[in-house]
Amino acid sequence: MKKDLSDVDVAWLRGRTVVVRADFNVPIESGRITNDQRIRASLPTLEALAQAGARVIVLSHLGRPKGKVDPAQSLAPVALRLAALLERPVSFIPHSGGVEAAEPIARLPDGVVALLENTRFMAGETTNDAGLAAAWAALGDLFVNDAFGTAHRAHASTAGLAKAMVERGNEAVAGMLMSRELRFLEEVLRNPERPFIAIIGGAKVSSKIGVISALLPRVDRLLIGGAMANTFFRALGLDTGSSLVEEDSVGIAGDLLEQGGETLVLPIDCVVAAEMSRDAEVRVVARTDVTGDDKILDIGPQTRTRFTDMIRRSRSIVWNGPMGVFEIDAFAEGTMQVAHAVAVACDGGALGVLGGGDSAAAAERAGVVDRLTHVSTGGGASLQLLAGAPLPGVDALTNHGTRS
Ligand code: ADP
Ligand code: MG
């Protein structure tokens, strides 16, 4: 078990400098933030620290600037939004580190939040440079990692900074968002109430093989939808017409089918169209009747009934990946019905955890976000955790039972 913010003495925080790694990797279009969910998710930790009178230095990456300053990927708009949401002044420091950042930090009053510029403007960030990590660690008395979305990467501002902070004799703890993410995802894996069902969809089998094979022996049912079902259809020897198929993964899909037996449930019918477009002519066909120009773009009505019946009867649910191209109305129904079924199960007391950026957008579109037990803010990180693989950003934090 890792220490989190609740293990830190509130009185101790007054006047201390706390370095927080947040995940402010939000979509920005021509300078405007189009979705501030990730900023909102970080507020409880930042508010608690500021309230306690700490000086709060926040680090985050944004986009992939590849170690160079790129004004288009500046965190400046995030600082403005953060100040508005926190209802506190946020001091934006237009440097990612170094002496230019250290000097304004030294002048910060207690209880103030400061945001440094994009960590990925620094060359050593994604290579987990020990010197860079040590320089960030030297800014504060405590490190709080609240960036669940990047916990699966060992970068200088995540795993490296935690390690460096501990080496200085200080602690590195999980923030409130991070501990909430870990609590729900670990709970559903540790001792799930049964029936336990997993729903896996989305574009690629290859990105989710680890999760499928780790979950298969644990769950009562594993439902496959989305484009990845096509790769499984091919492993069954079915014609998939012009659908998206990952040729390289057909062999693995076959292995998973064999390993899964009755547990692995594939769609039986599909919505097909010749074009992935709004005004395409749409047909419903059995999975054995897909051919020629057909692109499979959603699960069919019989599959929806089967899937939603199983979901509604479940007590533990892990959902990752949409059932079809839900961004287009004509192919959204499968995903919408699955979203509603998961919400109904949660209304009845089931534990329902959703991961994946596109899946979260689908749940929002279905209007069910507030009814789900937990919507994870981390796509890759939640997949890695569900696959049973270590998260470097978490592993580097201080263990319980270590001195305080
Ligand atoms: P998440 O972000 O939730 O992990 P993925 O990124 O794996 O999900 O996949 C989401 C994408 O998969 C969506 O953009 C959706 O349009 C696409 N998709 C789902 N089903 C199909 C399909 N049958 N054909 C093509 N694309 C699909
Ligand atoms: Mg995605």
For 300-318, write each residue's pLDDT tens digit: 999 999 999 999 999 999 9
CA distance 251 to 237: 11
* Nearest ligand, measured from the Cα of 226: 1
- Give CA separation, 255 vs 205, 213, 216, in Å: 13, 10, 12
**How many residues does the structure list for the chain?**
404
Res 360: pLDDT: 92
Res 310: pLDDT: 98
Other CB atoms closer than 10 Å to residue 287's CB: what's the count? Answer: 23
CA distance 338 to 330: 15
* Nearest ligand, measured from the Cα of 203: 1
Phi-psi group of 356: left, alpha or beta (phi > 0 → left; psi -120 to 50 → alpha; rest → beta): left
Q: Is 379 in the pocket of ligand 1 (CB under 6 A)?
A: yes
Low-confidence ranges of the chain (pLDDT < 50): none
The answer to whether 244 touches 203, Cβ cutoff 8 Å, is yes
184 CA → ligand 1 middle, Å: 24
134 CA → ligand 2 middle, Å: 33
CB neighbour burial string for 246-276, b if at least 16 within 10 angstroms, e if fewer: beebbebbbebeeebeebbbbbebbbbbeee
Residue 294: closest CA among 322, 269, 312, 319: 269
- Give CA separation, 351 vs 12, 222, 346, in Å: 36, 16, 6
What sign does the CA torsion over 44, 49, 52, 53 have?
negative
Residue with tokens 């005004």: 279
Pairing of strands 264-265, 171-174: unpaired
Work out which ligand 1 atom sits closest to the CA atom of 328. 16
Res 119: pLDDT: 98
Q: Is 296 in the pocket of ligand 1 (CB under 6 A)?
A: yes
CA distance 287 to 298: 11
The answer to whether 229 touches 240, Cβ cutoff 8 Å, is no
Residue 167: closest CA among 134, 144, 135: 134
Q: Is 380 in the pocket of ligand 1 (CB under 6 A)?
A: no
Q: Is 65 helix (H, G, I), strand (E, B) or coil?
A: coil
Res 403: pLDDT: 58
Other CB atoms closer than 10 Å to residue 37's CB: what's the count? Answer: 15
127 CA → ligand 2 middle, Å: 24
State the catalytic residues.
Answer: 38, 204, 357, 380
236 CA → ligand 1 middle, Å: 21
Res 388: pLDDT: 87
Work out which ligand 1 atom sits closest to the CA atom of 361. 3
